[in-house]
């Protein structure tokens, strides 16, 4: 095999990517990973991970990702902190372009995960980074002793709201209905916190601002259209994520929301291309399930390569 032709290129570096890298490296497949400019995935934006087995006291998301990377690199995973711009999956070896340079691989494992969805309410574009954020871990400390709102009713909203109480004087969770997708334990932790108030049946209709930044929002009750104004200097949108697949330019079959579909075990609609983690997972979306799927994808790629010989 020539130097520039790899058995496996892994795209993406969350728990799925690093686990695929660990298994591929231990299988002597000489894997190369393009980890992205912001390597580590969504866990780099998470405070404490309390539900990954093996960490009885929990572990910080970034610390866990550093350990996963170190473990995979110990067995020979080569990691480049660069983004993949596009791929050509028409024939094998597949082609991957990174900063204009072409790489070739017999198999690909796509682990690019998902990114936060924005609300798209009036005035949002102008206030992004000036008070409206999708990452409490990144931006929470800017709002010391200020009033903040968090939009959403899932685990992310509960986690962000609870985390933000470290800084804010008050956190109000805004949810569009009175049923919460959040797990009971995370809902209860947020709902019982003295700094947190929960307002149900409210949607953000418009963001309000002055020359200094965000000042509040107009909230609409979806039941009767009535409007109320809330004041806040920070807002965190936590309404879910969408898969990162645009670099694939529709060469792989996805569902209507853009999530990659598995055709046979972890293989996608393109023979020799595998996918793992949040980029395929609309159901579990956990670090542990992503890691497990990364392991499966690596084993599937290894067996598929053996079958080709
Ligand atoms: P979810 O899909 O679970 O929840 C999204 C929330 O946002 C829902 O309450 C939804 O409302 C609301 N929403 C969606 N679109 C809009 C909109 N346009 N306007 C207003 N509200 C909207 O996403 P999460 O990111 O919270 O969680 C994703 C997964 O990650 C889950 O499996 C979760 O368990 C997991 N997770 C686990 C954590 C942990 O265990 N530490 C931490 C964070 C996430 P509605 O209910 O009406 O649809």
pLDDT of amino acid 135: 87
Catalytic residue among 30, 48, 135, 221: 135
- List, by residue range, all CATH 3.50.50.60 domains of the chain: 5-115+241-308, 118-237
pLDDT of amino acid 129: 81
Q: Which residue has the tokens 């009033």?
A: 147
Question: Which residue owns the Cα nearest ligand 1 atom 21?
Answer: 152
* Structure confidence at residue 3 as a pLDDT band (50, 70, 90): low
Spell out where 155-306 has E strands: 170-174, 196-199, 203-210, 213-220, 227-231, 234-237, 241-243, 273-275
Q: Is 232 a catalytic residue?
A: no
Q: Is 138 a catalytic residue?
A: yes
Q: Would you say the CB of residue 277 lies under 6 angstroms from ligand 1?
A: no
pLDDT single digits (tens) 46-74: 777 888 999 999 999 999 999 999 999 99
Output the CA 27–ligand 1 centroid distance in Å. Answer: 37
* Structure confidence at residue 1 as a pLDDT band (50, 70, 90): very low
Q: In this structure, which CATH number among 3.90.550.10, 3.10.310.10, 3.40.50.300, 3.50.50.60 belongs to the domain 5-115+241-308? A: 3.50.50.60
In angstroms, the Cα distances linking 235 to 1, 127, 174 are 52, 10, 10
- The preferred substitution site among 136, 150, 152, 237 for testing ligand 1, maximizing ligand atoms within 8 Å of CB, is 152
Mean pLDDT taken over the chain = 95
Q: Would you say the CB of residue 12 lies under 6 angstroms from ligand 1?
A: no
Determine contact, residues 277/14, Cβ cutoff 8 Å: yes
Q: Structure tokens of 54?
A: 């093996």
> Residue 219: helix, strand or coil by DSSP?
strand
pLDDT of amino acid 2: 43
pLDDT single digits (tens) 124-140: 999 988 899 998 887 89
**3-state SS string for 125-149:** HHHECCCEECCHHHHHHHHCCCEEE
pLDDT single digits (tens) 141-186: 999 999 999 999 999 999 999 999 999 999 999 999 999 999 999 9
The pTM of this model reads 0.79
Output the CA 181–ligand 1 centroid distance in Å. Answer: 6
Note the CATH architecture for domain 118-237. Answer: 3-Layer(bba) Sandwich (3.50)
Determine contact, residues 78/3, Cβ cutoff 8 Å: no
Question: Which residue owns the Cα nearest ligand 1 atom 29?
Answer: 285
């Amino acid at each position: 095999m020539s130097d520039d032709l790899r058995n496996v290129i892994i795209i993406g570096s969350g728990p799925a990517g690093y686990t695929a890298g660990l298994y591929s490296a231990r299988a002597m497949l000489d894997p190369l990973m393009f980890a992205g400019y912001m390597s580590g995935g969504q866990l780099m934006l998470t405070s404490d991970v309390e539900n990954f087995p093996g960490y009885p006291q929990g572990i910080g998301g970034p610390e866990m990702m550093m350990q996963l990377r170190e473990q995979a690199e110990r067995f020979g995973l080569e990691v480049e902190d660069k983004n993949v711009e596009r791929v050509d999956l028409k024939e094998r070896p597949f082609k991957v372009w990174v900063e204009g340079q072409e790489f070739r691989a017999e198999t690909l494992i796509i682990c690019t995960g998902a990114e936060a969805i924005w609300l798209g309410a009036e005035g949002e574009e102008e206030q992004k980074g000036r008070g409206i954020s999708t990452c409490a871990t990144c931006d929470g400390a800017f709002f010391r002793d200020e009033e903040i709102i968090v939009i959403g009713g899932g685990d992310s909203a509960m986690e962000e709201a609870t985390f933000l109480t470290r800084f804010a004087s008050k956190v109000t969770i805004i949810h569009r209905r009175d049923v919460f997708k959040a797990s009971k334990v995370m809902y209860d932790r947020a709902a019982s916190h003295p700094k947190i108030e929960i307002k149900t049946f409210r949607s953000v209709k418009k963001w309000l601002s002055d020359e200094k930044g965000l000042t509040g929002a107009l909230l609409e009750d979806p039941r009767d259209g009535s409007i109320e104004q809330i004041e806040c200097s920070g807002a965190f949108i936590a309404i879910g994520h969408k898969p990162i697949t645009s670099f694939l330019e529709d060469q792989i079959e996805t569902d209507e929301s853009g999530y990659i579909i598995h055709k046979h075990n972890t293989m996608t609609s393109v023979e020799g291309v595998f996918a793992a983690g949040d980029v395929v997972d609309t159901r579990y979306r956990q670090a542990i399930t992503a890691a497990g799927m990364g392991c499966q994808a690596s084993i599937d790629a290894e067996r598929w390569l053996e079958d080709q010989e």
